[in-house]
Structure 1
Amino acid sequence: MAETARPESSVLGEPGDRGTLTIRDRVAQKLVLEATRGTPGVRHHAAGMDKLTGRELPRARVLVSGKRVRAKVDIAIEWPGSLSVIGTAVRENVTTQLQSVSGLDVDGVDVAIVSVLPASTKCDAGRKVR
């Protein structure tokens, strides 16, 4: 009795069903930091020993579990910035970035404003000490 040939696609399955995609915590952390840095009102800040120990702002901690992610972001903002507006913008940017780039389901993004910095002035930026 002759065997009927199966189409090759049914043997291999659909391309999207053939493997897995694993997104590591470190990759998700980089996505979170990029989204945070791109938010208006967020400032980079590192002082003293922070530069040596890597405790600069913004910083993020991320936990990926399967297709779910949770993030905690510590930021510095410039005075006079609205804490609630900037915090909400960071949360929205991080959520959008994680969902659109990684496809992960975001369980939550906790934002902590840990430093409020004085407004930078254009006069100070161009001054030189002699």
Structure 2
Amino acid sequence: MSTAVTRAPDDAPIGAPLAAEVGSAYPQLGDPAERGSLTIADRVVERVAGYAVTRVEDVSAAPRRLLGVRVGGARADEEASVDARVDGHTATVDATIAVGWPASVRAVTARLRQQVREDVERITGVRVAHIDIDVVSMIAPAARRRRVQ
């Protein structure tokens, strides 16, 4: 048995309903230039990327420092420091994190890049062109709090 698949046109806006979903209850979407503009603020991308960071195993917020001295420990339930810049439909993201000992920094940062890119693009429709990650600390297992699943 085969199922018919309705596909959005290639020029349809991200998140636009498929024609089969819209039905006759909604008018046809007009030209994007006539509907208005959409601006995604830097802070929105920062929040989405910050949440994405918390979803990656062995990543936590970097410990706070005051005049170079560590103040408190890293906590897995805190959001990492994330900055983003949006230029049109493209964003760059900077994240400062701590990685759990003895995880591979290379493997963890690869997973982090993938998670941030997927979440930001899926939720905001903004393409992530570049992600810089600063790993500033390795956190011993006893210093990390267990994440609630």
TM-score by length of 2: 0.64
Whole-angstrom CA distance in 1 between matches of 2:120 and 2:87: 14
Taking only the aligned residue pairs, the percentage that are identical comes to 23
**Structure 2 gap ranges (5+):** 1-26, 72-77
Is the CA contact (8 Å cut-off) linking 1:74 and 1:111 kept in structure 2?
yes
1:14-45 CA-to-partner distances (Å, cap 9, x unmatched) read 17540111110011100110000110111234
1:65-122 CA-to-partner distances (Å, cap 9, x unmatched) read 1111000111101111110010001100000011100001111111121110111279
Q: Does 1:46 align with 2:63?
A: yes
- The structure that is helix-richer by fraction is 1
Q: How does 1:1-130 map to 2 (within 5 A)?
A: 14=30, 16-17=32-33, 18-47=35-64, 49=66, 58-120=80-142
Aligned partner of 1:58: which letter? Answer: A
Q: How many residues align?
A: 110
Whole-angstrom CA distance in 2 between matches of 1:41 and 1:111: 14
Whole-angstrom CA distance in 2 between matches of 1:104 and 1:47: 30
Q: List 4+ stretches of structure 1 deviating above 2 A.
A: 44-51
TM-score by length of 1: 0.72
Whole-angstrom CA distance in 1 between matches of 2:45 and 2:92: 10
Whole-angstrom CA distance in 1 between matches of 2:65 and 2:93: 26
Query: CA distance change for structure 1 residues 70 and 23 in 2, over 3 Å: closer, same or farther?
Result: same
Please give the secondary structure, in 1, of the residue aligned with 2:141.
coil
Deviation at 1:57, TM superposition (A): 6.4
Is the CA contact (8 Å cut-off) linking 2:62 and 2:96 kept in structure 1?
no
**RMSD of aligned alpha carbons:** 2.9
Task: Point out the structure with max Rg over C-alpha.
Answer: 1
Whole-angstrom CA distance in 2 between matches of 1:40 and 1:64: 27
